[in-house]
Chains A and B, each alone.
Chain A
Amino acid sequence: MHSPAFLLVDPAHFEVAYTINPWMQPGAWRADPAGSRRAARIAFNGLVAALKGAGAEVEIMPGVPGAPDLVFPANAGVVLDGRATLARFRYPERQVEEPVFQRAFQRLRAGGLLNEIHILPDDYLHEGAGDFIWHAARGHVWAGYGPRTNRKGLDAVAEFFGREVVALELATDRFYHLDTCFCPLPGGEVLYYPPAFTPEGLRRIRNSVPAAMLIEATDEDAARFCVNAG
């Protein structure tokens, strides 16, 4: 079995500089920027150590000044089967990341890790793997839309990959990407936070997965980002 491979972004230029989701606390960061930066470095190193300790291969690309959320490359695009779509971000604060990730993907293609890169038209919104999660055990994709990704962007990415997609509408800006509230597990179970979904989204989850294989996250779990796992 091969090792899982992950792309991460160095947090040297990470900061909480603006507010585009309800979690963001620029004031808390600014209260002690140097301490916050040190804490971010320690946390990042802990994540890298955990991934490598679990047997993963980790590639770390440098950060870029003025693009603090570049440290969240799950939103860079979708990579499946050696093919990739690049993200189209909703907010200008993150749109600056698009050319950075495009260059990163081009390097991955030059290195043989990618065969094809697809760029969506300007008026499509799709925020990458955070809203398009392949569930190998079930053989289909779970896709989120609403707060960031729009339905048009979801449909375009789904068409590019040509696989079965279960589309789930997100109900709140607090859980703005599917990966904040939904985690498919290798044994076929699904860990999810029900209040994050519209009634139709919940119906689709519960129609797709037997109740005994659904694991509900609590409010506390969700607030600690426990569902944002892999």
Chain B
Amino acid sequence: MKDRLGERGYRVIDVNLDPFILSGGGAYCMTLRLDNVFAPALALKEPAE
């Protein structure tokens, strides 16, 4: 997974959250994003099918 995301230009930061996975939650579950704002979608360069 890390390599596949890296190939697309994403930086993946590993954090060991095993004690929380024992409860069924991970990094996203442990945060609530407060600053998201609605904005128009990006002009995505979507590859042809």
Contacts and interface: CB of A to CB of B under 8 A. Distances in A.
B28 to A, nearest CB: 4
Contact of A229 (B4, B9, B28): B28
Contacts of A73: 30-32
A150 B48 CA distance: 36
B46 A50 contact: no
Contacts of B15: 43, 46-47, 50
A58 B19 CA distance: 21
A55 B33 CA distance: 14
A65 B9 CA distance: 42
A103 interface: no
Contacts of B28: 74, 130, 179, 183, 228-230
A18 B39 CA distance: 40
B42 A5 contact: no
Contact of B20 (A43, A75, A80, A221): A43
State the majority secondary structure of interface residues on B.
loop
A119 interface: no
Contact of B30 (A71, A81, A139, A177): A71
Nearest to A211: B49
Contacts, number: 178
Interface in A120-166: 128-130, 134, 136-140, 163
B39 A136 contact: yes
B41 to A, nearest CB: 3
A15 B9 CA distance: 36
A224 B29 contact: no
A188 interface: yes
Contacts of A189: 8
A164 B4 CA distance: 29
Residue with the highest number of chain A CB atoms closer than 10 Å, among B9, B29, B32, B41? B32
Contact of B29 (A25, A130, A138): A130
A5 B34 contact: yes
A80 B41 contact: no
Contact of A8 (B10, B30, B41): B30
17 contacts: A23-B23, A39-B18, A40-B19, A43-B17, A51-B31, A74-B30, A129-B32, A136-B39, A137-B41, A139-B39, A179-B28, A188-B46, A210-B49, A211-B49, A213-B46, A228-B27, A229-B26
Interface of A: 2, 4-9, 14, 16, 21-25, 28-29, 36, 39-40, 43-44, 46-47, 50-51, 53-54, 59, 68-69, 71-77, 79-82, 108, 113, 128-130, 134, 136-140, 163, 176-177, 179-180, 183, 185, 187-189, 191, 210-213, 215, 217-218, 221, 224-226, 228-230
